[in-house]
Structure 1
Amino acid sequence: MTTTNRGQFSSRLGFVLAAAGAAVGLGNIWGFPTQAAQHGGGAFLLVYLLLIFALAYPVLVAELLIGRHGQANSVRSLMALANRPWQRWLAIVTALLGIVTVCLVLSFYAIVAGWLLSYLLGAALRLLGLNGAADWSEQFGFGRNLIFTLVFMAMTAAVVLRGVSQGLESWSKRLMPMLFVLLIGLIAFMLTQDGALAGLGRYLKPDLGALDDPGLLLSATGQAFFSLGLGVGAMMVYGSYLAKDSNLPKLALSVTLVDTSVAFLAGLLILPAMYAAQHLGVSIQADDGSLVSSGTLVFDLLPSLFAKMGALGPWVALAFFLLMAIAAITSSINILELPVSFVAEESPLGRSQAAVLIGLLVSALSVLILWQFETLFELVISLSTQYLQPFVGLLLCLFAGWVWQQQRCLAALAQGSPALASSRTLRVWRWYVKWVCPLLIAGLLVQSFR
């Protein structure tokens, strides 16, 4: 094992922006708003905010804590908690299963992100008057999908191979402020459009009758847990790049607040945009009467809205798809970091070689999915996000709550935050991670099999 010169985040701000960027993904920008629209608007928002702090935040602290304690890749960090041979084998299986899961996630994530890049290029081409090239860029096809998927994977690998401070931290410091500026600017513009205020009311006014819907709780629980990128060990790797004296509860809270802010702001953009599109004659309902799905929203409904905006349309489309591309790359570099850190520390390969190798392997899997798109695309999404990710998340909670000896766990958490040493907060947190989080995740897993 090689753990020397692993690199560390150079500042608290750098870590918060990098970890928040990792958590802020495509699901935050359009998945959260459409779920809110489908489950009572403000009612979903209230339940989500409650769960993000009651469930997701304690698990985030646990993952970061395991990583900081181990100061190594996910396999070594989990093995450091084990006291018995069977626990060590479980640590290896859990970590490797997490690595396989994130590779599967990145394989389809790169395809979707490639579509976003193609629409971004299409908007730019239309501004240049190259409508024929723009039509090709926005038309679904194997050739287009292959090119943009590989471009996105190359971009992701290029950031990761530069390391922690020069890669993850440096680019997060650049991209996250851009994301906030674009998001706020688009919100301000969209709220001036006819019909937008109806969408704003749908988002902010709670439909209390929706609280009786069991689907709301299930959906909000899943969104709260997975919006922070939890459940596969990726945040564990970020924690391993933290100094031992870092105040984990405060850092985790900062990451949670930034991630939640982006999700909330995305709702202020997407819901008004949906109703502005409806005002212009674009249907926002599926055949069964429900609101459109996230996939239909990004690649059908919103482009239709932009097309009806006249001369402003291409500029708004350019800003929107740039926002989406930034959200995609900030998450993908986090996803790729997990397997790269493992290969770089457990093999003779250097970090750059590991990033290229994993990038090529994931790209090959993406090409296979594109080749057999109708068969594999939905299957890989379902396998990785509905089954493997919750299962690995459950195992990680069991490690933090049951395998890790209590006093050692609490002492590690108090390190860097001495005020917690005599506080009951530590024991409440451990109780959460030991009992509440596993039960909720197990409930989600059981529901996914129905």
Structure 2
Amino acid sequence: MASRDAFHSRLGFILAAAGSAIGLGNIWAFPTNAANNGGGAFLFVYLVVTILLALPALYAEVYIGNQAQKNPVAALEEATQSKLGRYGGIAGLCGAIMMLSFYTIVAGWMLSHALSPLFQLLGFDDIAQWLATDSSARNFLFTPIFILLGAAIIHQGVSAGIEKWSTRLMPMLLVMMIALIVYILQQPGAMEGLKVYLIPDFSRVTEPDLIVSAMGQAFFSLSIGVGGMMVYGSYMAKGKDIGKLVASITLLDTSIAILAGLLIIPALFVAQHAGQQVFVDNHLIGEGQLIFSILPTLFESLGSIGLLVAFTFFALLSIAALTSTISSTEVPVAYLVESKDIPRNKATWMVSAVVFTASSIIILNFEAIFGLIIQGLTTILQPLSCLFYFVVVGWLWKRGNKLTDQATLQAHTSLRLLSYYIKFICPILISVVFYNVAF
């Protein structure tokens, strides 16, 4: 078997894991869900769900990988000492492919929309229009381009590829986002959007659909439940304070999601103030597609500076998509490298080919299956995977697990409380949410 690569620094791990978490889930999906679910009410529930469920789920996932020092399939099989763990790991692996199948399509949209204003500035209006218009031809061009970008980083390995590029891309993403927020908040209508976003209507916080949406968003934003965080945890040496690392990742991810809301929702109200129709019956027109129709029109109305803002905005989204794509791709790649003894280069291109095939099926049947795949992943597969992680850590994993070792728990009160919380409270909370939706 090939020798195992690893992260070389604590900062490299945090930025890579945060890069996995910080993606289109934060900057594309979070503001859309917030705008459609009461703004401040959704934000409030999202924060509560993140603390009560997403944070411990992230801890459980990273902890399993870190203790096993193996890919998710092998790690879960070792933890459970049964085929149940293996099946759970394979389900996560399939979830990673499932996420990549639609994620790379959306990431391709970001890339094409980033290039469109540049061509417009250069006077190539026809090309700019084609890049900004949804079509199967555009999807079949930019989806593989984005898959290749991720593959180019993945095949370099953990330290030379994932860690190096994460430490470059993440600071760039943060600077670009803050600059855009400062600009948008100075535009007419922005303050109205800010109020909707930050002042919650507490009468809505108990709505089951809102809670499930917030839970799915929290798991999607943190990339939990598809094995990406588990494989990243396996690349960190044992003995690190996983709790502090996970808290840092969650804080950074949640901060970016909140900042994305500060950018997108005020921008929508700026567009509305400028005369564009954004909402119908308190729901966004076009849902997730809205930022590709409303915001480019808003940016274009601002003249040349608006085209530069549009490029910066969609370049930001492209960077966020790339950092998340890397971690999801690493899940099946790590499995093929370690469990099937396939060289990393070959494994990377094999996974990329599978992802492109799955993406192509979605592109050809877009209206029928695109939304279903996203909903199935974020509201069913990811929460169920997290429930499985809780059961593994709390009930099934007997050897080498500090959270079930009685001597360790007696010596560390904080670990004992965390153990009880993961073992009893977290499975109950997820089950209650599912019950409320089903009945």
Choose which of 19, 22, 25 in structure 2 pairs with 1:21: 19
- Asked whether the 8 Å contact 2:394–2:404 carries over to 1, the reply is no
Correspondence list, 1:406-445, <5 A: 408-410=401-403, 422-445=411-434
Whether 1:168 aligns to 2:162 is yes
Distance in 2, matches of 1:359 and 1:56, equals 29
Choose which of 35, 53, 58 in structure 2 pairs with 1:60: 58
Deviation at 1:357, TM superposition (A): 0.7
Equivalent residue for 1:226? 220
50-59 or 275-284: bigger deviation: 50-59
| Secondary structure of the structure 2 residue equivalent to 1:399 | helix
Whether 1:185 aligns to 2:174 is no
Do the aligned partners of residues 366 and 53 (structure 1) sit closer, same or farther apart at CA in structure 2, a change above 3 Å counting? same
Unpaired segments ≥5 residues, structure 2: none
Deviation at 1:445, TM superposition (A): 4.4
Equivalent residue for 1:248? 242
Distance in 1, matches of 2:230 and 2:410, equals 22
Distance in 2, matches of 1:41 and 1:353, equals 45
Do the aligned partners of residues 221 and 293 (structure 1) sit closer, same or farther apart at CA in structure 2, a change above 3 Å counting? farther
Do the aligned partners of residues 421 and 353 (structure 1) sit closer, same or farther apart at CA in structure 2, a change above 3 Å counting? farther
Distance in 2, matches of 1:57 and 1:232, equals 15
- Asked whether the 8 Å contact 2:35–2:283 carries over to 1, the reply is no
Deviation at 1:428, TM superposition (A): 1.7
Distance in 1, matches of 2:14 and 2:406, equals 18
Do the aligned partners of residues 218 and 9 (structure 1) sit closer, same or farther apart at CA in structure 2, a change above 3 Å counting? same
TM-score, structure 1 normalization? 0.92
Equivalent residue for 2:113? 119
Unpaired segments ≥5 residues, structure 1: none
Distance in 1, matches of 2:6 and 2:404, equals 22
Deviation at 1:319, TM superposition (A): 0.6
Deviation at 1:284, TM superposition (A): 1.4
Equivalent residue for 1:136? 130
Deviation at 1:441, TM superposition (A): 2.8
Choose which of 306, 321, 337 in structure 2 pairs with 1:328: 321
Distance in 2, matches of 1:403 and 1:172, equals 34
Equivalent residue for 1:368? 361
| Secondary structure of the structure 1 residue equivalent to 2:284 | coil
Show CA shifts across 1:269-313 (max 9, x none): 111101100110111113x34234541322111112112212222
Deviation at 1:437, TM superposition (A): 2.0
Distance in 2, matches of 1:152 and 1:71, equals 29
Whether 1:357 aligns to 2:350 is yes
Equivalent residue for 2:103? 109
Deviation at 1:412, TM superposition (A): 8.2
- Asked whether the 8 Å contact 1:105–1:385 carries over to 2, the reply is no
Distance in 2, matches of 1:368 and 1:347, equals 27
Show CA shifts across 1:105-151 (max 9, x none): 10111111111111111121112111111111112222111010010
Do the aligned partners of residues 447 and 232 (structure 1) sit closer, same or farther apart at CA in structure 2, a change above 3 Å counting? farther
Equivalent residue for 2:148? 154
Deviation at 1:40, TM superposition (A): 3.3
Deviation at 1:407, TM superposition (A): 7.8
- Asked whether the 8 Å contact 1:390–1:445 carries over to 2, the reply is no
Distance in 2, matches of 1:161 and 1:413, equals 42
Distance in 2, matches of 1:258 and 1:414, equals 33
Deviation at 1:228, TM superposition (A): 1.0
Task: State the AA in 1 paired with 2:102.
Answer: F
Distance in 2, matches of 1:147 and 1:231, equals 30
Do the aligned partners of residues 315 and 76 (structure 1) sit closer, same or farther apart at CA in structure 2, a change above 3 Å counting? same
| Secondary structure of the structure 2 residue equivalent to 1:230 | coil
Equivalent residue for 2:331? 338
Distance in 1, matches of 2:27 and 2:200, equals 20
Distance in 2, matches of 1:307 and 1:158, equals 33
Distance in 2, matches of 1:336 and 1:449, equals 32
Show CA shifts across 1:300-334 (max 9, x none): 11112112212222111101100110111011101
Equivalent residue for 2:232? 238
Distance in 2, matches of 1:435 and 1:10, equals 35
* Backbone CA RMSD of aligned residues: 2.2
Deviation at 1:410, TM superposition (A): 2.4
- Asked whether the 8 Å contact 2:390–2:422 carries over to 1, the reply is yes
Equivalent residue for 2:273? 279
Task: State the AA in 2 paired with 1:100.
Answer: C
Distance in 1, matches of 2:208 and 2:386, equals 22
TM-score, structure 2 normalization? 0.94
- Asked whether the 8 Å contact 2:393–2:403 carries over to 1, the reply is no
| Secondary structure of the structure 2 residue equivalent to 1:437 | helix
Equivalent residue for 2:209? 215
Do the aligned partners of residues 412 and 188 (structure 1) sit closer, same or farther apart at CA in structure 2, a change above 3 Å counting? farther
Do the aligned partners of residues 309 and 180 (structure 1) sit closer, same or farther apart at CA in structure 2, a change above 3 Å counting? same
Do the aligned partners of residues 443 and 227 (structure 1) sit closer, same or farther apart at CA in structure 2, a change above 3 Å counting? farther
